[in-house]
């Protein structure tokens, strides 16, 4: 193998000419410099090949030409190194290094969570919707008629007292004290048969705030009006509703009560969520938790909205969203719902829906 000396020399001189002809200042980027280094000094590079080619020459020629080739290699390597340092310290490069790559995918934003009260209300709405109820709502600023009068709450009733109700300067307006006025609005809006639910609206009461009271809280209201509706429909609906909401072994209990807008009226208890009815500190050993108010729509309410109580009958119930959530999750203080402490709110993320 091997080439003869003159052949080697010709190729070596060409390489040297090319190397000498290279003006380092013309190499503008580190990439170009890297390509150039490979071209001469890389594996298979022109100078590397010359050095390898030395092996095929006679000992004499090797002694004579070897150092020339080595010194070209050394000087070329040095020039490349010098240019490399220049390029690396240049302003352009530092700008390049610090450049923000706007095409990089951003950090994924944290997924928002629904508030536990929203989740609770959505879950209730969902169950009642599947039972044929549609969603209704009314204004937070109500008038006396919808909040009280049409619901058969007479003028002198303590619920109208300034202590409970936030009145606006412009009477007869007030902040609604319950979601029951939505019943009136639903019946004014559409003729029966009706099945509506007001899903977790805000209500306002002039209450001292403490662990179990808040001046603003939420209620779910439900109303069904049709021909021939009885108390049994109310019982059946609530039983299915509570079982879907709190588990299939949940029992309901109806206790006689009094609300102006229902006759008869009941307060409804559910078997204790913790002990299942055996009796524990949560249910104060009774086995039951007081859950909501309900009843058969009072004929006076139908009259107030121009419906004939002889033709129509209905049932209604209303419950506090906070109260339900407090019992379901055994939350010690109602204020936790409004403080927006993420450590509290995070716990309800996937728990519910």
Does position 295 interact with ligand DAH (CB under 6 A)? The reply is yes
Q: Which of residues 312-351 bind ligand DAH (CB under 6 A)?
A: 316-318
> Which residue from 178, 195, 218, 323 is in contact with ligand DAH, where contact means CB under 6 A?
178
Q: Which of residues 248-277 bind ligand DAH (CB under 6 A)?
A: 259, 262
How near is the Cβ of 139 to ligand DAH at its closest, in Å? Answer: 16
Q: Nearer to ligand DAH by C-beta: 204 or 288?
A: 204
How near is the Cβ of 316 to ligand DAH at its closest, in Å? Answer: 4
Does position 293 interact with ligand DAH (CB under 6 A)? The reply is yes
Q: SS3 letters for the chain?
A: CCCCHHHHHHHHHHHHHHHHCCCHHHCCCHHHHHHHHHHHHCCCCHHHHHHHHHHHCCHHHHHHHHHHHHHHHHHHHHHHHHHHHHHHHCHHHHHHHHCCCCCCCCCCCCCCCCCHHHHHHHHHHHHHHHCCCEECCCCCEEEHHHHCHHHCCCCCCHHHCCCCCCECCCCCEEECCCCCHHHHHHHHHCCCCEEEEEEEEEEECCCCCCCCCCCEEEEEEEEEEECCCCHHHHHHHHHHHHHHHHCCCCCEEEEEEEECCEEEEEEEEEECCCCCCCCCCCCCCCCEEEEEEEEEECHHHHHHCCCCCCCCEEEEEEEEHHHHHHHHHCCCCHHHHCCCCHHHHHHHCCCCC
Does position 142 interact with ligand DAH (CB under 6 A)? The reply is no
Kindly indicate which of the ranges 16-24, 101-109, 238-246, 289-297 contains the residues binding ligand DAH, using the contact rule CB under 6 A. 289-297
Q: Which of residues 179-198 bind ligand DAH (CB under 6 A)?
A: 180
How near is the Cβ of 112 to ligand DAH at its closest, in Å? Answer: 31
Q: Which of residues 100-129 bind ligand DAH (CB under 6 A)?
A: none
Binding-site ranges for ligand DAH (CB under 6 A): 178, 180, 221, 259, 262, 293-295, 316-318
């Amino acid at each position: 193998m091997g080439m003869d000396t003159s052949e080697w020399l010709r190729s070596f001189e060409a390489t040297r000419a090319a190397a000498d002809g290279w003006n380092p200042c013309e190499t503008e980027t580190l990439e170009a410099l890297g390509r150039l280094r490979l071209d001469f000094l890389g594996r298979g590079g022109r100078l590397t090949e010359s050095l390898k080619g030395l092996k095929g020459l006679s000992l004499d020629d090797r002694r004579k030409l070897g150092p020339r080739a080595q010194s070209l290699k050394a000087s070329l390597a040095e020039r490349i190194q010098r240019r490399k340092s220049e390029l690396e310290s240049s302003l352009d490069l530092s700008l390049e290094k610090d450049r923000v790559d706007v095409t990089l995918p951003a950090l994924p934003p944290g997924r928002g969570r629904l508030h536990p009260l929203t989740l609770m209300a959505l879950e209730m709405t969902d169950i009642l919707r599947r039972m044929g109820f549609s969603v209704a709502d009314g204004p937070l600023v109500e008038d006396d008629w919808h909040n009280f009068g049409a619901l058969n709450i007479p003028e002198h009733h303590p619920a109208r007292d300034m202590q409970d109700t936030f009145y606006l300067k412009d009477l007869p307006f007030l902040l609604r004290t319950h979601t029951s006025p939505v019943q009136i609005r639903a019946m004014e809006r559409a003729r029966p048969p009706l099945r509506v639910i007001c899903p977790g609206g805000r209500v306002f009461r002039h209450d001292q705030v403490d662990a179990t009271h808040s001046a603003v809280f939420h209620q779910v209201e439900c109303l069904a009006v049709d021909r021939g509706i009885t108390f049994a429909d109310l019982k059946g609906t609530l039983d299915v509703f509570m079982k879907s909401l709190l588990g299939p072994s949940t029992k309901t209990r109806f206790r006689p009560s009094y609300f102006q807008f229902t006759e008869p009226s009941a307060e409804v208890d559910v078997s204790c969520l913790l002990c299942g009815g055996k009796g524990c500190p949560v249910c104060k050993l009774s086995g039951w938790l007081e859950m909501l108010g309900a009843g058969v729509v009072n004929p006076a309410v139908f009259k107030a909205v121009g419906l004939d109580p002889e033709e129509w009958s209905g049932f209604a119930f209303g419950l506090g969203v906070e109260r339900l959530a407090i019992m379901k999750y055994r939350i010690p203080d109602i204020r936790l719902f409004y403080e927006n402490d993420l450590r509290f709110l995070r716990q309800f993320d996937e728990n519910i829906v």
